[in-house]
Amino acid sequence: MTADHAVSPTQVGPGLSRRAQRFVEVDGIRVRRQDIRRHRDAWIGNGIPAAEIDRAVAFQDRWGGLALPPAPFYEGGPRILDAECPEGAAAKGWSFPAGTCRVSMAYGFMIGPDGAFGIDAYRWTPLHASTDGWVESLALAAHARRWAKSVTRIKGKAVEALDLGGYEPVPEVQGVTDTWWRGKDSLIALYRGEAVGLDAPQCLEAHIYGGLDEWGLHGG
């Protein structure tokens, strides 16, 4: 078996911010990835469109085998990014798994028909518009946690009462259901995925990273 090794940003291709590139390089580990190309003929024989298999293969070539530190929500996110057999139908579109969960969960992590990274619970819930956005959110959380003077977590109805006036969305995380917001001295992460996907408003959660200077707000 191939030994685990550090990851160069060039191994996941262009598109990540410098902050996320550093995160992947310093904190990421590449483990042996499975070769899903060998399943192509069998999958096509089971009615899976070739284009959907190509999407899964492209994901695997870029992200497969990448292990990153746990996310601060979703019980840490996928243990290792890893594509598997696409599933779906022409009517609703095709998705494929993005990696196994770290713990037993009521949902799985998927790549949706449009390339979004999300969770598949009672309904498909896209969190970020792409896997890049998911990795950017992990990198920003790690950065903010390192430099913030305070970290406050709020849940449920208190999240809905947050005043985001004066805050701007952080574009690189490509937020869909989950978003990040940047203020004059703080960052706010809004985690809505479980609340929407599980129809459980009590799962709504926000993390507020306070006391940040210019470097803490951006970090490259």
Count of other CB atoms within 10 angstroms of residue 163:
6
Query: Taking Cα atoms as reference points, which of 91, 107, 75, 89 lies closest to residue 196?
Result: 107
Note whether residue 140 is domain-resident: no
Note whether residue 206 is domain-resident: yes
Distinct helix (H) and strand (E) counts, the chain: 7, 13
User: Do 119 and 174 share a domain, yes or no?
Assistant: no
Count of other CB atoms within 10 angstroms of residue 95:
22
User: Do 123 and 160 share a domain, yes or no?
Assistant: no
Count of other CB atoms within 10 angstroms of residue 104:
6
User: Do 18 and 124 share a domain, yes or no?
Assistant: yes
For 18, 95, 170, 176, the CA distances from 117, given in Å and listed in that order, are 21, 10, 17, 9
For 137, 148, 167, 186, 218, the CA distances from 213, given in Å and listed in that order, are 19, 9, 15, 8, 9
User: Do 128 and 152 share a domain, yes or no?
Assistant: no
Q: How many angstroms separate the CA atoms of 84 and 194, rounded?
A: 23
Instruction: Per-residue pLDDT tens, the chain, 220 aa: give them.
Output: 344 555 554 466 678 999 999 999 999 999 999 999 999 999 999 999 999 999 999 999 999 999 999 999 999 999 999 999 999 988 889 999 999 999 999 999 999 999 999 999 889 999 999 999 999 999 999 999 999 999 999 999 999 999 999 999 999 999 999 999 999 999 999 999 999 999 999 999 999 999 999 999 998 7
Tell me which of 135, 159, 191 is where a domain ends.
Answer: 135
User: Do 14 and 112 share a domain, yes or no?
Assistant: yes
User: Do 99 and 154 share a domain, yes or no?
Assistant: no
Three-point CA angle 146, 151, 153, nearest 5°: 135
Query: Taking Cα atoms as reference points, which of 19, 9, 72 lies closest to residue 215?
Result: 19
Note whether residue 213 is domain-resident: yes
Note whether residue 141 is domain-resident: no
Residue range(s) defining the domain that contains residue 188: 146-218
